[in-house]
Amino acid sequence: MKLALPFSLITSALLSACGGSSGSDSSPETGKATVASNYALTGKVIDGYVSGATVWLDFNGNGILDANEPSAISSDAGSYTMELTGQQRQCAAYSAIYVDVPVGAIDETEGEVTEAYQMMRPPQLETLTDSSLLHISPLTTVLWESLKKDLTESSIENCSAFLNDQEKRQQIKSRLSESIYNTVSHYNISAEKIFSDFIAANDETSQQLAVNIVKNLKKSYGYRQQLTEQYADTSEIRVVYYQGESYDTAADIDAWYRKVVIFFNNDNFLSRVDRVTEDLSDIIRPIYYRDEVVSPWKSGTLSLTKDIISRGYDGDLYYSCSLSEKIEITAQGTRYTLTNGGQGGRVDNIEQCQPDTVNPDGYRGYGFDYQQGGKYYFSDLRQSNYDNGISYLTDWVNFTENEDSLDPQEMISEMSAMGYKFDEEVNGEFSSWYKRHTTYSGNSQTQITKSSGGSWEKIVYASDGTHTRECSRDGETWLSCDGF
């Protein structure tokens, strides 16, 4: 379960940076006719501070600057002032702010821009004032992609109807909360920092993060568009470029990777991790490809997952190719998951990986999700043919072929006796196991995990989404995990 940041915190972060704004009735020199304006929207374009960029409000959600949409050109220190009419100001709170950074714009840190790119800032979803400073940066941009499709109906023509649609506005607020949570969790920075002027604050960590994100933005936008045309019936497409990938055993720490994740409307899923060239243009080597197909199975669901993973080192590189199967069935408040994972066969390239059955020499996973006493629990117990063998539900293999002969009640009965609850002793021979419980208190979250090796881990997520991590041998005395 994800920790949702409270919307009061989000709006505080969105609107906390305040300062003076221009009260002039003159329009910025954008080549557009002057409009009668009584309000102004101000802020900065930040990568380094960027001058010569076009800032505009996307009223109709099409990602293109249209004739009826107000705009401004950023100047020294990335500052912009956008003049608004009363009607435009009312709808501005529910419209994204876009920035087109053209070739020839000036980044005060990096110099002249040689490759055009675009940045965005999500809608504020609260009333704007002339004192609101709305900065646009790579950090605000990473929040926006997952929200765009929910806002395409909020055009200036139907703004009044949108303002009166409480359900729609609440849906968008929830999506914004989730997007902010995902960002602060991934980068471990507070929500307030995402919307701040991190250059003025001398925040070197956020500045370096912005540099890396911009490199990602310049490539991910175009590639995402290609995937949208290639794959139909998708609910979400994610593209990210990054450095550092644990699955790649044959690259240095400065290598770049592209990860693509596609969620389909039928619950199917695929992901692609590739090592790419430094300019992010070409694939050097596929690293981890996964395809998951989900279908109904008796009273639950069946998932078939193909994994292709790069193995070995320079001079002896190959791929492991495997197929796993998973059944999920819920009974009396507990979700039971049974997984068969075959040992991956060795292939020379990804095209050769075409498994049609689960190898019988792999592992068995038993998973449990349940709630009790205000806590959320998850347990994962493993058996392997390489250790003590598989001793439970030994006939439960090849779920598709054997569906008619398998009884879900048998699965639930045997798994219920394994001692899966957090405070129970594990009952049986398992190669490994871990148990976890998560507690929510106000806007914070505490997650405690204990494992078969005797180690404990505690992660505390603060209300701003940042987290701390401690370790223990007994679950009572907690110390820093460094060198633990």
Q: Average per-residue pLDDT in the chain? A: 82
Residue 7, both tokens: 């919307």
Domain boundary among 137, 169, 187: 187
Domain boundary among 168, 187, 206: 187
What does the alpha-carbon distance between residue 457 and residue 472 come to, in Å, rounded to a whole number?
6
Quick one: pLDDT at residue 28? 34
pLDDT category at 465 given cuts 50, 70, 90 is low
Task: Answer for the pair 363, 341: CB distance below 8 angstroms, yes or no.
Answer: yes
Both 382 and 470 in a single domain?
no
pLDDT category at 62 given cuts 50, 70, 90 is confident
Quick one: pLDDT at residue 214? 63
Both 50 and 160 in a single domain?
yes
Task: Answer for the pair 426, 433: CB distance below 8 angstroms, yes or no.
Answer: yes
Quick one: pLDDT at residue 243? 80
Is residue 81 situated within a structural domain? yes
pLDDT at 147 over 50: yes
Both 168 and 54 in a single domain?
yes
Both 13 and 152 in a single domain?
yes
What does the alpha-carbon distance between residue 39 and residue 34 come to, in Å, rounded to a whole number?
13
User: Lowest-pLDDT range, 3-12, 284-293, 323-332, 460-469?
Assistant: 3-12
Quick one: pLDDT at residue 226? 83
Quick one: pLDDT at residue 143? 67
Task: Answer for the pair 278, 287: CB distance below 8 angstroms, yes or no.
Answer: no
What does the alpha-carbon distance between residue 72 and residue 62 come to, in Å, rounded to a whole number?
18
Is residue 304 situated within a structural domain? yes
Task: Answer for the pair 343, 365: CB distance below 8 angstroms, yes or no.
Answer: no
Domain boundary among 164, 187, 210: 187
pLDDT category at 478 given cuts 50, 70, 90 is very high
Is residue 201 situated within a structural domain? no
Residue 381, both tokens: 């117990």
Is residue 312 situated within a structural domain? yes
pLDDT category at 282 given cuts 50, 70, 90 is very high
Both 324 and 352 in a single domain?
yes
Task: Answer for the pair 415, 338: CB distance below 8 angstroms, yes or no.
Answer: yes
Domain count, the chain: 3
Is residue 372 situated within a structural domain? yes
Is residue 466 situated within a structural domain? yes
Both 372 and 460 in a single domain?
no
Is residue 482 situated within a structural domain? yes
Q: What is the mean pLDDT of residues 22-50?
A: 62
Residue 459, both tokens: 């992660």
Both 450 and 421 in a single domain?
no
How much of the chain is in helix, strand and coil states, percent to nearest 5?
A: 25, 35, 40
- The 10s digit of each residue's pLDDT in 70-95 is 999 999 999 999 998 887 887 888 88
Model-level pTM? 0.61
* Domain range enclosing 314: 298-432
pLDDT category at 237 given cuts 50, 70, 90 is confident
Both 469 and 428 in a single domain?
no
Both 149 and 55 in a single domain?
yes
- The 10s digit of each residue's pLDDT in 118-141 is 898 888 777 776 677 889 988 788
User: Lowest-pLDDT range, 217-221, 345-349, 426-430, 478-482?
Assistant: 217-221
Q: Output the DSSP codes for 9-32.
A: HHHHHHH--B-------PPPSSSS
pLDDT at 392 over 70: yes
pLDDT at 321 over 90: yes
Return the bridge partners of 389, or none: none
